[in-house]
Structure 1
Amino acid sequence: MTDFTMPVQIRWADIDQNRHMRHSVYYDYGAMMRMHVLYSQGLTTQKLEELKIGPILFREEALFKREIKLEDQVTITVELLKSTKDYSRWSLRHQFIKADGTLAAILNLDGAWIDMEKRKLAIPNEFVQHVFEKFPKSPEFEWK
């Protein structure tokens, strides 16, 4: 995978009293985008249950650059910023881009994998590692 983007339809429920997108919606759309990328590569909820592993987040931050309003057409991108060689720890970046190319927001996050039975951090198996190998990488990507 060299690039992954997703258009989103801004909903009335996403808008706050200031007539722009609520701050928490950025996190919701980021999560939707990440899971869509994983699903598209075969890492479905059923596969995660089979592997007894799940993604977890340690940090998630939003940097707001420009307002997003109800009428705006927005595309979200995702890319890998950093990772351990075994993809057990990773950092991702989402960008929210308006139709005219304006960068509206950036989401940065740090995550890992958890063994769902032991409830401890885990090294993902080869299937998960293969999914992350194909993940779009930032131009400033670095191995941890």
Structure 2
Amino acid sequence: MTSFSKQLSFRWSDLDPNFHVRHSAYYDFGAQHRIEILESLGLTIKAFQMHHFGPVLFREECIFRKEIKLSDIIFMHTKVSKMKADASRWSIVHEFRNEEDQICATITVDGAWMDTKLRKLANPVPEIAIKALSIFPKSDDFIQL
């Protein structure tokens, strides 16, 4: 697998007054896709609760290149672009591509794992997270931190 991919379905409420997808909808699609991916890798909400940890973001940035309209067919491709060997820190990239495979937008998030009991960064990272991120598709320019 080269990336986690899904076709997006836009709703009327995803539009802004200019009739293209509003900026904050991109972030919502990225967040939803990350949770779906983590769940598929065994990092379910139940697993987070049982092991007392969860993902935390330090930075979330979107670069907009081409507008997306309600009827556009868009695929989101998600990969890990950076990660420490112990999976304690990571960066994930979401590419929004149209039918011509042109990039319409790119979201980059930098994150880590938080211990939900201590409310601090998880140290060490639970093995279940290390295993999940080790099989997460990597970007072509992946960097081991």
Q: What band does the TM-score fall into relative to the shorter chain?
A: over 0.9
**Does 2:59 correspond to 1:68?**
no
Deviation at 1:37, TM superposition (A): 0.4
**Does 2:95 correspond to 1:95?**
yes
| Corresponding residue of 1:108 | 108
Cα separation, 2, equivalents of 1:41 and 1:136? 11
Cα separation, 1, equivalents of 2:31 and 2:71? 22
Cα separation, 1, equivalents of 2:93 and 2:3? 13
- CA deviations on 1:59-92 (whole Å, 9 max, x unpaired) are 0000000000000011111111111110000011
Cα separation, 1, equivalents of 2:102 and 2:119? 41
Name the Cα RMSD after superposition. Answer: 0.9
- CA deviations on 1:22-55 (whole Å, 9 max, x unpaired) are 0000000000110110011111101110010000
Cα separation, 1, equivalents of 2:140 and 2:14? 31
| Corresponding residue of 1:40 | 40
Aligned residues: 144
Cα separation, 1, equivalents of 2:102 and 2:139? 19
Cα separation, 2, equivalents of 1:118 and 1:135? 27
Native 8 Å contact 1:5 1:78 kept in 2: yes
Runs (5+) with no aligned partner, structure 1: none
**Does 2:131 correspond to 1:130?**
yes
- TM-score when scaled to structure 1? 0.97
Identity of aligned residues (%): 42
Deviation at 1:2, TM superposition (A): 3.7
| Corresponding residue of 2:140 | 139
Runs (5+) with no aligned partner, structure 2: none
What is the SS of the residue equivalent to 1:50? helix
Q: How does 1:74-93 map to 2 (within 5 A)?
A: 74-93=74-93
Q: How does 1:22-37 map to 2 (within 5 A)?
A: 22-37=22-37
Cα separation, 1, equivalents of 2:129 and 2:98? 31
What is the SS of the residue equivalent to 1:139? strand
